[in-house]
Structure 1
Amino acid sequence: MLTKKQTIINGLHQKPILIDATYTSTKINQPIIIFCHGYKGFKDWGAWNLMANAFAKAGFYFIKFNFSHNGGTVEQPIDFPDLEAFGNNNYTKELDDLKTVIDWACNSSEIQKFANTNNITLIGHSRGGGITLIKAEEDTRIKKLISLASVSDFENRMMQLYEASQWQETGVTFVENGRTKQQMPHYYQFYEDFKANQDRFNIERAAKHLNKPHLIIHGDADTSVSITESKHIHNWNTNSKFVTIENADHVFGAKHPWEHNKLPLQLNTVIQKTLNFLNE
Structure 2
Amino acid sequence: MGLTKKQNIIISNPQTRDFLADACYPENGERLPLVIFVHGYKGYKDWGAWNLMAEKFAEAGFFFVKFNFSHNGTTVEDPHNFADLEAFGNNNYSKELSDLGAVIDYFVQDEKVDNHKIVLIGHSRGGGISIIKTYEDERIHGLITLASVDTLDRFPKNEAFDNWKKAGVYYVTNGRTKQDMPHYYQFYEDYEQQEHRFDVERATEMAKAHVLIIHGTHDETVNVKNAEHLHILHPNSKLFLIENADHTFGAKEPWESSELPSDLNTATEKCIEFIREKM
State TM-score, norm by structure 1: 0.96
Corresponding position of 1:248:
245
Specify the alignment match of 2:3 in structure 1: 2
Specify whether residues 162 and 24 from structure 1 end up closer, same or farther in structure 2 by C-alpha distance, changes over 3 A only: farther
CA distance in 2 between counterparts of 1:277 and 1:31 reads 12
What displacement does 1:27 show? 2.9
Write the deviation string for residues 149-173 of structure 1: whole angstroms up to 9, x where unpaired: 0001111x21359833221211111
1:150 aligned to 2:138?
A: no
* Rounded Cα–Cα distance in structure 1 between residues aligned with 2:262 and 2:29: 28
Structure 1, unpaired ranges of 5+: none
What is the aligned residue count? Answer: 275
Superposed, 1:84-233 pairs within 5 Å as 84-107=86-109, 111-112=110-111, 114-155=112-153, 157-160=154-157, 163-233=160-230
Mark the runs of 5 or more structure 2 residues left unpaired by the alignment: none
Aligned letter for 1:143?
Answer: H
**Paired residue type of 1:179:** R
1:25/1:183 CA distance change after superposition, 3 Å: same
Residues 162 and 231 of structure 1, relative CA distance in 2, 3 Å threshold: farther
Whether the 8 Å contact between 2:147 and 2:247 is mirrored in structure 1 is yes
What amino acid is the match of 2:15? H
Deviation by residue 1:160-198 (Cα, 9 ceiling, x = unmatched): 598332212111110111111100000010000000010
- Residues 3, 59 of structure 2: 8 Å contact kept: yes
CA contact (8 A) 1:12 1:96 kept: no
Equivalent position amino acid for 1:250 in 2 = H
Equivalent in the alignment of 1:67: 69
CA distance in 1, matches of 2:162, 2:156: 11
Specify whether residues 78 and 160 from structure 1 end up closer, same or farther in structure 2 by C-alpha distance, changes over 3 A only: farther
Q: Secondary structure at the match of 2:155?
A: helix
Q: Distance in 2 between matches of 1:162 and 1:93?
A: 27
Q: Distance in 1 between matches of 2:16 and 2:77?
A: 16
Distance 1:202 1:82 in 2: 29
The one-letter amino acid paired with 1:268 is N
Say if 2:16 and 2:99, in contact at 8 Å, map to a contact too.
no
Which 4+ residue blocks in structure 1 deviate beyond 6 angstroms?
none
Task: Give the drift of 1:273.
Answer: 0.8
Q: Does 1:40 align with 2:38?
A: no
Answer yes or no: is the 8 Å Cα contact 1:171–1:187 preserved in 2: yes
Label 1:268 to 1:37 Cα distance change in 2 as closer, same or farther (>3 A). same
- SS across alignment from 1:158: coil
